Structures are given as structure tokens and as C-alpha cells.
Amino acid sequence: MRLLFKQRFFSWFDSYDIYDESGNTMFVVKGELAWGHLLRIYDARGNEVGCIRERILTWMPKFEMYLGEQYVGCISKEFTLFRPRFNIDYNGWHVEGDWLEWDYSIIDSAGRSIASVSKEVWNWTDTYVIDIQDPKNTVFALMLVLAIDAEKCSRRD
């Protein structure tokens, strides 16, 4: 399954539209006013399917992932000098990628690819292509991509 992850150009808070290969809206992500990033993910019918909440007052950025009110895991940035690394507390997954963080893969504990993410460079807003191997992992992979993007945005601000 291939998704196009595109940040909205005019938005007070982080807002994204996620499309399938045919251009159909699959998910809408809406940022909310909060201490740190708070992103809610809605399906095409407007039902909330997930949430990413940044924990504040932590040494390194940390984002918690929720399905409804149920906590399912977190992603936190590790302290490194050159190549960014993330610690993922979900299903034994980890992230491997380049030092620019524009192209990376989400890998499971057995070394199998869950998803690959690549940034389209020549766009006005952050735009990513997400190739997901198994559709059942779509929301979880999307939450990780959103958390990594939010962490990068925090660094730029």
C-alpha cells in the first residue's frame, strides 16, 4: 500500500492530508493547541483512529501513540552526535535511515521491512511517500512518520 503524506500549506497547527495512490483521501491529521505536539488522525469518514501526543519536560523528544484512549507505544529520540536515532517502544520495530532523515525504513525485530518512507524534496510543504508492506500496519506506520516529522519540526522552530 502506498500513501502520500502531505502537510497543508495554510494551517495554524500541524495538519496533514494522507492520500492513496489514486488521490483519494485516506486519513486527515489535525493538530490541536497543546503543550507540545498533539496530532489526531481521522479516517476518510471522520472517525478518530489514532493520536500522537508529545511528552513535555523530557531530556529528548518523546511521543506517545494512542488508539482511542489506549496507549500502544512511544517513540523517543536518542542522543547522538551525527546520525539521528529513534527508540521505538512498539512491536520491536526500529527506524533505519539516512542522516538527513528524509529517507528511512521501519523494520521489525526479524529484520523485515514494515514500511519505507521517502521525502519528496521539491514541494512547498513536507511531503512524504510511505510504502507499507501490510495494510494492517498502516495506522501504526503513519503514527511513527508523524512523530518523526513533528520532532524535526520542533528542532527547526
Q: Which three cell numbers stand for residue 142?
A: 503513519
pTM (2 d.p.)? 0.82
Domain range list for the chain: 2-156
Q: What is the pLDDT of residue 157?
A: 44
Q: Would you identify the CATH topology of the domain 2-156?
A: Porin (2.40.160)
In this predicted model, what pLDDT tens digit does every residue of 95-113 receive, in sequence order?
888 756 678 899 999 999 9
The answer to whether the CB of 103 falls within 8 A of the CB of 117 is yes
